[in-house]
Amino acid sequence: MTQVKARVLSGVQPTGNLHLGNYLGAIRNFVGLQQTHDCLYCVVDMHAITVFQDPVELASNTREVAAAFIAAGVDPKNHIVFNQAQVSQHAELAWVLNCVARMGWLNRMTQFKEKAGKDREKASVGLYVYPNLMAADILLYKATHVPVGEDQKQHLELARDIAQKFNNDFNAPAFFPLPEPIIQGPATRVMSLRDGSKKMSKSDPSDLSRITMTDQADDIARKIRKAKTDPEALPETADDLSGRPEAANLLGLFAALTDQPLSTVIGQFAGAPFSSLKEQLAEVAIEKIAPIGAEMKRLTDDPATIDAILADGADRARAIAEPIMAEVRKRVGFLGN
């Protein structure tokens, strides 16, 4: 049971409208980790249905996320790309973890409060236990590192608490490693192009609020041109960004897309008008995103090939998961092999 390389696992929900926030905050960070880690990248279709999904759209969104991983540079041969529902051990471990996690822990989850909104009585039970399923995704492979956006840090803390309690309750010190978050890059929080104080979101009614991964060059240019600004010139220092969410967002995007620190980019545009930032931002966004979008289209035009990649990934994921799940069953006291 020794693990040579550190193991990375991350997941992205197939809920449609994959956008720049998903790319910069998650998917793009998956690529580099392949050099140093054994990676599993999972399309978390079971998480998606915590909010109702049209079944036909769910299937095509699942293929779209897999295509985005691959188009961005994830190698499904040397690493593992799969969808969660094909590896039933995720659901099985999630049940055990439902019985390890405490109500009080889940009651603290801010994402549930946000997503359930005012009418909490009408949220699905799945939405409430969503973080336990996420913990299962990670622990099922004894993953040590989890690249996530800022917004998932709390869920990762919970996964650590669950791992620790399982190890204690079942007298299995260090059975589950405590997973570490990897939070990379300056633009882990990509904000709406229409309102710099709101996150870029798949569900924003305005198409102009987000750049999707399959936007064509002219859409990307138009959305950046129409992005909200404020009346001042661009600031000279990072301190002057406070209270200027749109300037912060566009500069942050430029920094992320050009792989530069924000401070460098602030220096570059100090005192310039928004128009010059927008022009250059459109250029780099098109250069980075349009080829990925084109490759995603090519891949999703051939669903049989994507399905074969996901089936192969699921087989290889299961081969890692099953012995760990078998040990969980034994530790918990379940009879059978």
**Binding to ligand TRP, residues 261-320 (CB under 6 A):** none
d(CA 257, CA 251): 10
Residue 43 touches ligand TRP, criterion: CB under 6 A: no
Can you tell me which of 7, 28, 37, 47 binds ligand TRP, judged by CB under 6 A? 47
**In terms of Cα–Cα distance, which of 15, 11, 47 is closest to 133?**
47
Number of Cβ within a 10 Å radius of residue 275: 9
Alpha helices in the chain (DSSP H): 20-22, 28-33, 45-48, 55-72, 89-98, 103-107, 110-116, 125-139, 153-169, 217-225, 245-257, 262-269, 274-300, 303-332
**In this chain, which stretch among 5-13, 74-82, 282-290, 303-311 interacts with ligand TRP, using CB under 6 A?**
5-13
- Backbone dihedral angles phi then psi of residue 98, each to the nearest 5 degrees: -60, -30
Q: What is the Cα Rg of the chain in Å?
A: 21
Can you tell me which of 48, 148, 265, 266 binds ligand TRP, judged by CB under 6 A? 148
Residue 10 touches ligand TRP, criterion: CB under 6 A: yes
Can you tell me which of 53, 86, 152, 188 binds ligand TRP, judged by CB under 6 A? 152
- Tokens 């803390």 sit at which residue? 157
The residue among 101 and 146 lying less far from ligand TRP, judged by its C-beta, is 146
Spatial CB neighbours of 169, under 8 Å, sequence gap ≥ 6: 100
The residue among 177 and 235 lying less far from ligand TRP, judged by its C-beta, is 177
Instruction: Choose the catalytic residue: 165, 202, 228, 297.
Output: 202
Instruction: Choose the catalytic residue: 77, 142, 199, 330.
Output: 199
- Number of residue whose CB is nearest ligand TRP: 11
Contact 61, 102 (CB under 8 A): no
Can you tell me which of 65, 146, 190, 255 binds ligand TRP, judged by CB under 6 A? 146
**Binding to ligand TRP, residues 121-140 (CB under 6 A):** 134, 137-138
**Whether 122 is catalytic:** no
Residue 13 touches ligand TRP, criterion: CB under 6 A: yes
Contact 285, 258 (CB under 8 A): no
The residue among 84 and 224 lying less far from ligand TRP, judged by its C-beta, is 84
Residue 38 touches ligand TRP, criterion: CB under 6 A: no
**Whether 199 is catalytic:** yes
DSSP 199: B
Which residues are at the interface with ligand TRP (CB under 6 A)?
A: 9-11, 13, 44, 47, 134, 137-138, 146, 148, 152, 155
Residues with catalytic function: 115, 199, 202
